Structure 1
Amino acid sequence: MQSNNVESIGILLQRAICYSGYRDGHNPGLGIFPSYSQILEDLQLLAGDWQYLRLYDAGPHAHTVLEVIEREQLPFKVLLGMDLAAEVSNPNCPWDAYYPDHKLADNRRHNDTELQRVVRLANEYSEHVLAISIGNEASVDWTDHKVETHRLVHFAVQLKGQTQALVTFCENYVPWANGQLDELAKHVDFLSIHSYPLWESQSIEHALHFTQQNYYEVADRFSDKPVVITEAGWTTNANGHAFPAHFANERWQSDYCAQLLNWCEKDGILCFLFEAFDESWKGSDDPAEPEKHWGIFRLNRQPKPVVIRLQQPQLASIAKLSNNG
């Protein structure tokens, strides 16, 4: 067994996906969340093909997801998250990430409150919680919600002291690879990395190799820690502002996601595919904004071609077992 395989800390290798159930008209920033019945519909679509769900905060959406899982007895485990606000301004962010001192002070209080919120949720639904992430992309150079490493360490220590859950931090591969998060790595149970070949203008021919390089750059540096991919995927629409627009299409999404999960399943790597459903609230108002189109299901819950593609290996395995029986 690889020393950085998650099975070493009791996490089974299962199919995993990032889930945000926000439909047209929903917006977490405006406090408009999906209903119980809408989340139930989503989870029934995902059940069977996916066993782990990643959520991004401990707010009303996450609470309803866990409530649905428990009440409906759905077979999911959840990676919870903290929704961190900026504690320092970041001049390296390509968009506005300057905050006055009073706002940063408010944000620090928000983050302390978010810590207690995720603790309560994890303890209330402990049977269904796989792990907790301290935050999401809060230390990478371009983030607009930068939090210094010593505070991330503080959150990790608090979570480990107040819950029974495993603790991680979800971040782009670069801060893990360049030594920026070495101190934090000592305090988490496993490392969580993000890899997006498309955001770095990789074509489909090089995409999987790029992700493999990202993964092993971190895994080789931390050979004593399990390493999980908590975001990797492919959008199906783009406006050409960040990468060539023609790179974003359903065929390349299908190819990359199939290659990615086949590699991860073969090499024993837990990978959360990004993401389950398109989300129209994200990014700019441009309909071709790539942030809106990463789902393997469209906004109307109709599957994209990748869904059938990803079901095929699992169906083949089931058929093989049936024949052997």
Structure 2
Amino acid sequence: MLFTQFSIAKFRVRPLILACSACCLISACGGDGTTGLPGGSSNGGSGGSGGGSGGSSGIGISAGSYSMAQRSLPTYYKNAKAINYSAYRAGGPNQGELPSVANITQDLQLLQSAGYTLLRLFGADQVSTRVLSTAQANFPNLKFQIGIYLVGASTDCVNAVNTAQMQTGIQQANTYSNVATVSVGNETSFANNLPASCLATYVNLVKTNVAQPVTADDDYTFYAGLTASGEKPDLILPLIDFASIHTYPMSNYGGWNWQQTAIAAGQGRAVAMMNAAIANARANYASAANYSFTNSANVKTTTGAAMPIVIGETGWKAVQTNQGSQIETVAAKPINQKYYFDLLNTWQNAGTGPQTIFYFESFDEAWKGNDDGWGLWDQNRTPRYILCGTAVAGAPACATPDPYAGAGYFQ
């Protein structure tokens, strides 16, 4: 989903990138507002200072000394419960919100109580630095996939926001031992705001300066070579260690048979719709996994054969927030949200799809307007039906004997 400054928003019909003011750019540069590369690394290796043999990139970051050889995902990616987490509660990044340590602590306690130990963050800024430092001090079992937020850039790929984000992301990766992986960019191809050649330059710079596995989060259409702009992932795939794809059947409901009118109206039609939704997600994953490209050894291969694939984002709204969405009118319900979530887990547990699924998302964020309503908890941290039967305090009971009774469907 697309960023609106250093957080996210999905606008699948009309992509939107919101501009950031100069003051926002300054406040997003990292913990102390500086943009220098870190002086050392707590993760081992010799590339923490960003020096090394590569020379200057012209972007303000020197190529480091870490190898570009493919790195293995941590083993806990195969069994950890994973989720997207954004700490904003009020005005969001466009109003300069900096969530308090107390609020972040409450959020991490809630996520831990639900069994989530692998969290995906989005921008390399003061907010994510505060999350990482709070977690490292108080939640030693939590690990993070950090994100580096990218905007458009000129043909020389030089951009002040992107440089500051990369510098801060490198610093975070080399400072906090709870950083498991690093993602460079978020749906830059889907937004059509950054050439793949610039993304490749950025991935190379980041990877040579951190020890962790590196990816680039984007919509499945990019990884499947299906973007409307014609951008292909061929420049990116030889550089990254794993692919992180996004798929949203609910947002892209025009691409699959969500109405299921061949089934009589009733619970059976709801079941058919939800099964068709997960089938769409699986097909999107397969299209990315089967994409053919030439690797760094000049050998033709597919993404699925060359590297692990995770789903970086997918979810289902519990409440309608976009009045223009026909599917939300009937199917943005807590029961449907749980249904999709459980189907995802069944797919992942079968071992036939992604190694990890980062569910979108932890908590509602009202500042997103019509892109809100995806949270496992609402904005007030009240647990939704999707958490029924868990150890989460205040979670509702699951309906018996059918926990999906009453799911919404087209009528």
The 1:105–1:26 alpha-carbon spacing in structure 2 relative to 1, beyond 3 Å, is farther
Deviations 1:34-65 (A, max 9, x none): 10010000100111411100000111110111
Q: Which amino acid aligns with 1:232?
A: T
Tell whether the 8 Å contact from 2:308 to 2:355 is kept in structure 1 after alignment.
no
Counterpart for residue 163 of structure 1: 210
Of 67-76 and 270-279, deviating more is 67-76
Shift of 1:204: 2.1
* Helix, strand or coil at the partner of 2:235: helix
Q: Which of 93, 105, 119 is the aligned partner of 1:40?
A: 105
Shift of 1:128: 0.4
Q: Which of 274, 285, 292 is the aligned partner of 2:372?
A: 292
The 1:7–1:121 alpha-carbon spacing in structure 2 relative to 1, beyond 3 Å, is closer
- The within-5 A match list for 1:1-325 is 9-12=73-76, 13=78, 14-23=80-89, 25-48=90-113, 49-87=115-153, 108-125=159-176, 127-140=177-190, 143=191, 146-178=193-225, 180-201=232-253, 202=258, 203-221=273-291, 222=303, 223-238=305-320, 239-244=322-327, 245-267=329-351, 269-283=355-369, 289=370, 291-308=371-388
Of 233-242 and 180-189, deviating more is 233-242
Counterpart for residue 407 of structure 2: none
Question: d(CA) in 1 for partners of 2:390 and 2:347?
Answer: 13
Structure 2 length normalisation: TM-score? 0.65
Counterpart for residue 270 of structure 2: none
What's the RMSD between the two structures over aligned residues? 2.3
Counterpart for residue 92 of structure 1: none
Question: d(CA) in 1 for partners of 2:325 and 2:148?
Answer: 27
Shift of 1:183: 1.4
Structure 1 length normalisation: TM-score? 0.81
Q: Which amino acid aligns with 1:298?
A: D
Question: d(CA) in 2 for partners of 1:295 and 1:170?
Answer: 20
Larger helix percent: 1
Tell whether the 8 Å contact from 1:86 to 1:107 is kept in structure 2 after alignment.
no
Structure with the greater relative contact order (CA < 8 A, sep ≥ 6): 1 or 2?
1
The 1:218–1:309 alpha-carbon spacing in structure 2 relative to 1, beyond 3 Å, is farther
Tell whether the 8 Å contact from 1:258 to 1:310 is kept in structure 2 after alignment.
no
Shift of 1:151: 0.9
Shift of 1:309: 5.2
Shift of 1:66: 0.6
Q: Which amino acid aligns with 2:384?
A: K
Question: d(CA) in 2 for partners of 1:162 and 1:174?
Answer: 29
Q: Which amino acid aligns with 1:227?
A: I
Shift of 1:73: 3.4
Shift of 1:11: 3.4
The 1:86–1:236 alpha-carbon spacing in structure 2 relative to 1, beyond 3 Å, is same
Q: Which amino acid aligns with 2:167?
A: Q
Shift of 1:70: 1.1
* Helix, strand or coil at the partner of 1:198: coil
Question: d(CA) in 2 for partners of 1:170 and 1:41?
Answer: 27
Deviations 1:75-96 (A, max 9, x none): 11100001111226xxxxxxxx
Question: d(CA) in 1 for partners of 2:139 and 2:363?
Answer: 22
Q: Which amino acid aligns with 1:60?
A: Q
The 1:246–1:137 alpha-carbon spacing in structure 2 relative to 1, beyond 3 Å, is same
Shift of 1:272: 0.2
Question: d(CA) in 2 for partners of 1:32 and 1:106?
Answer: 29
Deviations 1:146-192 (A, max 9, x none): 11111111111111111111100111100110171111011000000
